[in-house]
Chain A
Amino acid sequence: MSTTFWVWLGIAIYIAVGLAIAMMARRQLGAGVSEFFLANRKVGGFVSALTYSATTYSAFMMIGLAGLTYINGVGALGFELTYLCGMFMMVFFLPRFWLVGRKYGYISPMELLNDRYQSKGVGATAAILALVFLVPYGAVQLMGIGYLMNGVSQGAIPVVAGIIIAVFCAIAWSNIAGMRSVAWTDAFQALIMIGTSAAVLGVVVAALGGFGSFFSKLESAVPGLLVVPTAKGAWSINMFIGLALPWLFFLISNPQVSQRLFIPKSVTAMKQMLGGFLIFGFIYTMISVLWGFSATLLVPGLEKADLATPTLLTLPIIPMGLAIIVMIGITAAAISTIDSILLTLSSVWARDIHKGLINPKVSEAGELRVGQWVIPIMAIIAFVFAWWAAGKTGLAFMIAPLSSAASAGLLMAVPTIFGAFFWKRATAAGAMVSCIVGAIVVLLFQVTGWKPLGWWPGTWGFIVCAILFVGVSLATKPPREKAEEFIGYLKEKLAEGKFI
């Protein structure tokens, strides 16, 4: 039987198992918005860690990051590990989000901002940022799946077919039981992701003669890729900061991950979530980068770096069965991210835009219905973007830079989030002006390709945004009573739980 048959069979089994898990999750689904969007804040540590990992790590890793390593070398490792180092900030933000989420019943991070700043405009602004910038990020996942299925089936499965399959799974798994089905399928997918990628890396490294031989070959074949900046000029400090800065604050700027800070059922579950994620992230990053390096040795000279993984998987040293399993692992990585994005965007739309601005009197059932309708609509928008971007070439349309560009827009909410937790003087006007102007700067610089002083759009946007946040806040009146109550509550509870 042909490779294409086995690829389709693998996809069919993956979808069937995923659907079965989602349906099992549905049996435990209770009523209400908190239940649908947050699994009633009762997720255990193991599932919390895996859903956080699967949501964070996506097709970006084994395709985008591997491609970036393939073409630009070791700086890709530094870039991705800077994100993981940024997770150190979880020791500040995880307990804070978790505590106020329980006390005030927040469903989305935007609702937290609304309440803290006593202004619906702040949450709406952050919600629009998320809606605008998460679409390209979601689309990137779809592109990754399209490239992968196309590559592994050696062109038999068109890129667009892979994208359609991913859209179907993401809609189904986020709609069947909300956070419960997403978290459970994420846990299943996280295990597939790390297991399959470790297995295939092992096969490739063995074919290269083991780690010692692999590293020696890298040092002799591509020494210029083992330093920053590279021999070809990639990874200037400006490029590194431009790509890494949005990643550094990913844990609070991306609502699909910060919303997960509300879900652990206890402090123990929180600790397991954070510890489990840090270990998962370290292992998965090392695997992805070493995989990219192995591609530089085994399939050099590819025109499109994002094709390094699909091309490597078609080499005879990798058994076809393993290649298909790995393809499913990467597909799982992508779908587990996009379904989380869809679920978060639907909660943001339902709670912060529909209930917050359009129809404040909507019932809980009505709010939930709106959220469930938003899921397929956002999926279709991401699909159209992915289809368009998949036909383009160049650095800006590679998976890694495109992902980072999307996060650069979301970065504009970071000063507002810091202010909510750490600065009583912060104001709604400061938050809104900084988010809006910062996002406009990022979009303008992205579209025009303008990089004054060589600094990337995210860097400029962040500087403008931070200055405006502080300046406008100092010039306007803060919600003193709420700030005192919110930060005062945290101070008391943080001390009680030995948090810092």
Chain B
Amino acid sequence: MSKTGWAWTWFGFLLALDIAIPWFVLTHVKKMSGAFLFWTIWVVLAIISAFVIFLKWKEARQ
């Protein structure tokens, strides 16, 4: 698979977790260490993934 394909797949996986974990795994955890902590870590992971990709960008000739 191309790098673009992998990046889209990773993004799709993140979105699947967005629903799966809070609604099906943490739905009874009435604590800040439940959905609140999950979403915080989850988005940090998404941000780091974006950094890993865009830090490789370099100037292109116009």
Q: Which one of B4, B31, B46, B59 contacts A266 once the chains associate, using CB atoms below 8 Å?
A: B59
Q: Which one of B3, B31, B39 contacts A77 once the chains associate, using CB atoms below 8 Å?
A: B39
A229 touching B18 in the complex, CB below 8 Å, given contacts A278-B51, A498-B56: no
Q: Which residues of A contact B4 (CB under 8 A)?
A: 92, 500
Q: Are B54 and A286 in contact (CB under 8 A)?
A: no
Q: Which one of A88, A95, A226, A271 contacts B35 once the chains associate, using CB atoms below 8 Å?
A: A226
Q: How far is the CA of A219 from the CA of B50 in the complex (A)?
A: 33
Q: How far is the CA of A444 from the CA of B4 in the complex (A)?
A: 37
- How many residues does chain A have at the interface if contact means C-beta atoms less than 8 Å apart? 49
Q: Are A228 and B51 in contact (CB under 8 A)?
A: no
Q: How far is the CA of A74 from the CA of B23 in the complex (A)?
A: 12
Distance in Å: Cβ of B14 to nearest Cβ of chain A: 6
Q: Are B27 and A91 in contact (CB under 8 A)?
A: no
Q: How far is the CA of A282 from the CA of B55 in the complex (A)?
A: 19
Q: Are B59 and A89 in contact (CB under 8 A)?
A: no
Q: Which residues of B contact A78 (CB under 8 A)?
A: 18, 22, 35, 39
List residues of B (19-36) whose CB comes within 8 Å of A's CBs: 19, 22-23, 26-32, 34-36
Contact with B along A65-107 (1 / 0, CB 8 A): 0000000001101100110110111111011000100110000
- How many residues does chain B have at the interface if contact means C-beta atoms less than 8 Å apart? 41
Q: Are B54 and A268 in contact (CB under 8 A)?
A: no
Q: Which residues of B contact A286 (CB under 8 A)?
A: 40
List residues of B (34-59) whose CB comes within 8 Å of A's CBs: 34-36, 39-40, 42-44, 46-47, 49-51, 53-59
Distance in Å: Cβ of A422 to nearest Cβ of chain B: 9
Q: How far is the CA of A212 from the CA of B60 in the complex (A)?
A: 49
Q: Are A92 and B7 in contact (CB under 8 A)?
A: yes
Contact with B along A226-251 (1 / 0, CB 8 A): 11110000000100110000001000
Q: How far is the CA of A91 from the CA of B26 in the complex (A)?
A: 30
Q: Which residues of B contact A95 (CB under 8 A)?
A: 57
Q: Which one of B30, B51, B60, B61 contacts A223 once the chains associate, using CB atoms below 8 Å?
A: B30
Q: How far is the CA of A274 from the CA of B40 in the complex (A)?
A: 19
Q: Are B49 and A228 in contact (CB under 8 A)?
A: no
Q: Does A377 contact B (CB under 8 A)?
A: no
Distance in Å: Cβ of A64 to nearest Cβ of chain B: 18
Q: Which residues of A contact B49 (CB under 8 A)?
A: 88
Q: Are B58 and A267 in contact (CB under 8 A)?
A: yes
Nearest A residue to B36 by beta-carbon distance? Answer: A74
Q: Which residues of B contact A270 (CB under 8 A)?
A: 54, 57
Q: Does A496 contact B (CB under 8 A)?
A: yes
Q: How far is the CA of A371 from the CA of B22 in the complex (A)?
A: 46
Q: Which residues of B contact A271 (CB under 8 A)?
A: 54-55, 57
A500 touching B23 in the complex, CB below 8 Å, given contacts A85-B46, A88-B14: no
Q: Are B32 and A99 in contact (CB under 8 A)?
A: no
Q: How far is the CA of A209 from the CA of B18 in the complex (A)?
A: 31
Q: Are A84 and B18 in contact (CB under 8 A)?
A: no
Q: Which residues of B contact A99 (CB under 8 A)?
A: 60
Q: Are B60 and A267 in contact (CB under 8 A)?
A: yes
Q: Are B36 and A90 in contact (CB under 8 A)?
A: no
Q: Which residues of A contact B40 (CB under 8 A)?
A: 77, 81, 286
Q: Which residues of B contact A84 (CB under 8 A)?
A: 43, 46-47
Q: Does A215 contact B (CB under 8 A)?
A: yes
A240 touching B19 in the complex, CB below 8 Å, given contacts A74-B36, A226-B32, A282-B44: yes
Q: Does A373 contact B (CB under 8 A)?
A: no
Q: Which residues of B contact A248 (CB under 8 A)?
A: 15
Q: How far is the CA of A89 from the CA of B15 in the complex (A)?
A: 12
Q: Are B22 and A228 in contact (CB under 8 A)?
A: yes
For B3, B31, B39, B46, which residue has the most chain A Cβ atoms within 10 angstroms?
B39
Nearest B residue to A422 by beta-carbon distance? Answer: B4
Distance in Å: Cβ of A268 to nearest Cβ of chain B: 7
Q: How far is the CA of A166 from the CA of B36 in the complex (A)?
A: 34
Q: How far is the CA of A136 from the CA of B31 in the complex (A)?
A: 36
Nearest B residue to A215 by beta-carbon distance? Answer: B32
Nearest B residue to A84 by beta-carbon distance? Answer: B43
Q: Are B7 and A227 in contact (CB under 8 A)?
A: no
Q: Are A85 and B43 in contact (CB under 8 A)?
A: yes
Q: Does A499 contact B (CB under 8 A)?
A: yes
Q: Are B23 and A497 in contact (CB under 8 A)?
A: no
Q: How far is the CA of A125 from the CA of B46 in the complex (A)?
A: 33
Q: Are B53 and A500 in contact (CB under 8 A)?
A: yes
Q: How far is the CA of A301 from the CA of B42 in the complex (A)?
A: 31
Distance in Å: Cβ of B54 to nearest Cβ of chain A: 6
Q: Are A226 and B23 in contact (CB under 8 A)?
A: no
Q: Which residues of A contact B61 (CB under 8 A)?
A: 496
Q: Does A10 contact B (CB under 8 A)?
A: no
Distance in Å: Cβ of A233 to nearest Cβ of chain B: 13
Distance in Å: Cβ of A350 to nearest Cβ of chain B: 26
11 contacts between A and B (CB under 8 A): A74-B35, A81-B39, A85-B14, A88-B14, A90-B50, A227-B26, A228-B27, A237-B19, A237-B23, A274-B50, A498-B56
Beyond A91-B50, A219-B30, A267-B59, 15 additional contacts (C-beta under 8 Å) are A74-B34, A78-B35, A82-B18, A85-B15, A90-B50, A95-B57, A226-B36, A227-B30, A267-B60, A274-B50, A275-B54, A282-B43, A286-B40, A500-B3, A500-B7
